[in-house]
Chain A
């Protein structure tokens, strides 16, 4: 079964500093991986996804993530944090085709705080 572990339920950075949100996955098949962002009292917005093309994936708002098979990781980064990046971030992996449901399995989320 697929699973996702997000290290650090809370991350705090200063404005302008590097953002690094960690995600490790477990999958029985080549994974498809996703990062979502959720602003307070809002729904989920797709930041980026990896679907077996380029291992470095660029998303919206200056975020990017690198798929590293040897480390089973898909960490999210942004070179310079902005106050508007304060939100909760979720990493997710999609089920393999043989599960039937082909659903997303989510990590527990990381809340990013950006200090002025």
Chain B
């Protein structure tokens, strides 16, 4: 049982480049989330999904896009990377009962 798998673990991007952060879960959870973590700020919700084909914005969605074509996968797309997107990104999933959340190990992204 792998839980939530994020790839890559580390990445350095140049300003203006694009990339996709991958997230996959094998628990058949309907709810999936993307957070970013910045020093002293805790984790902020970027996007979320309540099921395949359904996504919505969180608190800090600018500069990002998501898709959810399957229950398992929830990729996060960065278009035109900016230094402000330097952060640690966490993907999480939940069955939707508010009682349990499983987090991936994170992707550390640096934009230079």
Q: Which chain A residues have a beta carbon within 8 Å of chain B's beta carbons? A: 9, 32, 34, 41-44, 49, 51, 90, 92, 94-97, 100-109
Beyond contacts A104-B43, A104-B92: 16 other A-B pairs, Cβ-Cβ < 8 A, are: A9-B40, A41-B108, A42-B106, A43-B90, A43-B104, A44-B103, A92-B43, A94-B99, A94-B101, A102-B96, A102-B98, A103-B45, A106-B42, A106-B43, A106-B44, A108-B40
B79 in the interface (beta carbon within 8 A): no
B31 in the interface (beta carbon within 8 A): yes
Whether B99 pairs with A49 at a CB distance below 8 angstroms is yes
Q: Tell me the minimal C-beta distance from A51 to chain B in angstroms.
A: 5
A104: nearest chain-B partner, CB-CB: B101
Whether A107 pairs with B56 at a CB distance below 8 angstroms is no
Q: Give the residue of A34, A96, A103, A109 whose beta carbon is less than 8 angstroms from that of B42.
A: A109
Q: Which chain B residues have a beta carbon within 8 Å of chain A's beta carbons? A: 31, 33, 35, 40-45, 48, 50, 56, 58, 90, 92, 94, 96, 98-101, 103-106, 108
Give me 15 A-to-B residue pairs in the complex whose CB atoms sit less than 8 angstroms apart, sorted by A's number. A49-B99, A51-B99, A90-B43, A94-B98, A95-B98, A97-B98, A100-B50, A101-B50, A102-B31, A103-B58, A104-B92, A108-B40, A108-B41, A108-B42, A109-B40
Q: Tell me the minimal C-beta distance from A1 to chain B in angstroms.
A: 10
Whether A103 pairs with B33 at a CB distance below 8 angstroms is yes
Whether A101 pairs with B40 at a CB distance below 8 angstroms is no
Q: Tell me the minimal C-beta distance from A21 to chain B in angstroms.
A: 14
Chain B residues near A42: list those with CB within 8 A.
105-106
Q: How far apart sit A55 and B33, CA to CA, in the bound complex (Å)?
A: 28
Q: How far apart sit A44 and B35, CA to CA, in the bound complex (Å)?
A: 12
Q: How far apart sit A116 and B18, CA to CA, in the bound complex (Å)?
A: 46
Q: Tell me the minimal C-beta distance from A98 to chain B in angstroms.
A: 11
Chain B residues near A49: list those with CB within 8 A.
99-100
A29: nearest chain-B partner, CB-CB: B98
Chain B residues near A107: list those with CB within 8 A.
42
